[in-house]
Chain A
Amino acid sequence: MRLNTLAVSTAVLLAAGSAHAQYTNGTIKIGVMNDQSGLYADVSGPGGTWAAKKAVEDYGAAKKGLKVEVVFADHQNKPDVGSNIARQWYDVDGVDVIVDVPTSSVALAITQIAKEKNKVFLGSGPASSDLTGKACNANFIHWTYDTWALANGTGKAIVQTGGKSWYFLTADYAFGHALEKDTGDVVKKNGGTVVGAVRHPLSTNDFSSFLLQAQSSKAQIVGLANAGGDTINSIKQAAEFGIVEGGQKLAGMLMFITDVHALGLKTAQGLNFTTAWYWDMNDANRAFAKEFAAANGGKHPTMVQAGIYSSVIHYLKAVEAMKSDADGAKVVAKMKSMPTEDKLFGKGTIREDGRHMHDMYLVEVKKPAESKKPWDYVTVKKTIPAAEAFRPLKDGGCELVKS
């Protein structure tokens, strides 16, 4: 139970140069909204705010004469709380762009508000592929990953290696449903079957009952269409209840590096999952992770935090080129027209439905003996090229896509 700690703003004024009149209120104001204290706080949370500030710093906003301010708030994973903050930010506080917003149900609410107010929303944390499908709009870009990409990456790899029948443990809200549907589609398309699913409430402590139902379904694969603490509890208890020993395999459809950390390699070893970014892939990522860890108590960045960095860089490029941040739809159109490039995500593009296109990676969790340093948790098994990683443009049902 948390009390309403709302919209604490830490203003980081990074500019001395004279403010250009083109920017609303003379400032480019970035609002990082995510779960600051609940089950997704390690996935983005305060580390996400750090990443946004780091992006502003690395972009050299101050030197270029841009006045940029970063504020943050805790949406507590509740759509109503998130909507209130978004309205306050867009209407009263002069926030030009909201970034991050994990928890699909909150993101689905905020993308509507961004459209209504003609502001910008860059989603790094949310997963639902509906955000660039039937709920798409001209003010939103989906940056880091989505349920379709996860399903496609992990689901396809598992079905192709013989995991034909699936049973889902699904978190009972927008994200879980989307992940279950997208994975189910991939499974069926590749010749597998879905034998059943059970919907559990968000933040469930005990999964034994659901695991028993999964066990008696006799499915080869138990797909975990949940996230964060729910995934951790599912995997931990599956080990206890002998799910894997009994011949069934687990598939964590959405896993973050912080989840592997919480499980420990002994329990998590051998799991496959799909990620947009991993800190130990190249020197630039490692350098970023080192700085991140120093500022965040040793934790290493997740793909969501890296995605926040990347999206803020690209946003600043677009508003600087336009010399204005006033018209949200125009800023997003400008962002779509420019190729993306930054040190963490490399080169990419943004599609007309708002999907940021970049490579995804299928990774496997290491055995305890293979881990040589702190947070050395996964090996990259396969790079999924951008063109294959995300849902084909025509299949999403986004109204921005002209047929």
Chain B
Amino acid sequence: MLFELIGIPPQALFGQLLLGLINGAFYAMMSLGLAVIFGLLNVINFTHGAQYMMGAFAAWMLLEWAGIPYWGALVLAPIIVGVTGIVMEKLLLKRLYHLDHLYGLLLTFGLALMIEGFFRKQFGSSGLPYSNPLPGGTRLSFMFLPNYRAWIVVASLVICFGTWFMIERTKLGSYLRAATERPDLVQAFGINVPRMITLTYGFGVGLAALAGVLAAPAYNVSPLMGSNLIIIVFAVVVIGGMGSILGAIITGFGLGIIEGLTKVFYPEASNTVIFIVMAIVLMVKPAGLFGTPK
């Protein structure tokens, strides 16, 4: 009855819900990294999209230049890109912590443009091929589920849960959370707060790169792949509540599904629907769905 009302067969609907979930997995992973960085560093990391792109390119370079396949890249690329993030934090970002958020945003935005420009110059704008490590798929009753997409959802759930667990439920996580509240006190207990912050940024950047590696076989590996995604991911973080880890994960998956459904009912609006949701949420709950008003 319900299905007749909305005018599409249930099978198509299930298919679209599942696809929405898959896209949501990317939003969740990306916004997770952003939320971790904002939560602990108070930096709005606009370089995140470029770092996601760097992850995908690192996977390509490892394959083409060193013969390291996808599964190796899954481990190595986030480490490599994470290290570049650490260098960036040490050299540049560190100097801005005492200033307004806006400075961090401007710096990371400028860096993102420079990084993207560099990759465009080196590799062109149309992209590079990266073949699928898990070809084939399963024919479900309502759709064909490619193995690789199933892997994306599983990997993303594991990563999201692992990160949430580490920050919310472990000793290390409690140090991190304490350091965001009162860095001076935590420092007084003998914990090296600046180093912890550096490593946190490296971790957040590594998460973006990991999402980039996961994206390489599914999407076009091009210098612009990050800038197309970053705006959406920011909306996800804002809807979830800046700095809220659980919020980032849940809204990531949720908005993936909403976007997926829009692609069926009114495809022309599929790239705007997330911003409509954002506007509504900001009107009702200005701190985001899971954020705490300050």
**Interface, chain A (partner B; CB < 8 A):** 1-3, 37-43, 45, 172, 198-201, 203-206, 208-210, 212-213, 215-216, 228-229, 232-233, 236-237, 239-242, 246, 256, 258-259, 261-264, 266-267, 297, 299
Contacts and interface: CB of A to CB of B under 8 A. Distances in A.
Interface residues on B, range: 35 or more
B53 to A, nearest CB: 12
A373 B20 CA distance: 41
Given A39-B125, A45-B125, A204-B271, A262 B220 contact: yes
B219 A206 contact: yes
Nearest to A234: B220
A242 B144 contact: yes
Contacts of A45: 125
A256 B263 CA distance: 27
Given A232-B127, A233-B220, A242-B137, A216 B12 contact: yes
Given A229-B222, A236-B219, A240-B149, A212 B19 contact: yes
Given A241-B137, A241-B146, A263-B129, A205 B124 contact: no
A156 B192 CA distance: 70
Q: Which 4 A-B pairs have the closest CB atoms?
A: A264-B129, A209-B263, A41-B125, A262-B127
A258 B264 CA distance: 31
Contacts of A241: 137, 144, 146
A381 to B, nearest CB: 23
Nearest to A46: B121
Contacts of B20: 209
Contact of B270 (A200, A240, A263): A200
B57 to A, nearest CB: 13
B82 interface: no
B125 A240 contact: no
18 contacts: A1-B231, A39-B222, A39-B224, A42-B126, A199-B268, A200-B270, A208-B22, A209-B260, A212-B16, A215-B144, A229-B127, A240-B149, A240-B217, A241-B146, A242-B137, A242-B144, A267-B131, A297-B121
B265 to A, nearest CB: 11
B143 interface: yes
B120 A232 contact: no
B16 A229 contact: no
B75 interface: no
A200 B267 contact: yes
Contacts, number: 126
B263 to A, nearest CB: 4
B144 A239 contact: no
Contacts of A41: 120, 124-126
Nearest to A229: B220
A216 to B, nearest CB: 6
Contacts of B220: 229, 232-233, 236, 262
Nearest to A296: B124
B131 A264 contact: yes
Nearest to B266: A199
A212 B15 contact: yes
B128 A262 contact: yes
A212 B230 CA distance: 25
A43 B219 contact: no
B23 A42 contact: no
B132 interface: yes
B141 interface: no
Interface in B143-179: 143-144, 146, 148-149
A192 to B, nearest CB: 24
B196 to A, nearest CB: 31
A215 B263 CA distance: 15
A200 B228 CA distance: 15
B185 interface: no
Contacts of B19: 206, 208-209, 212
Contact of B227 (A1, A199, A204, A215): A1
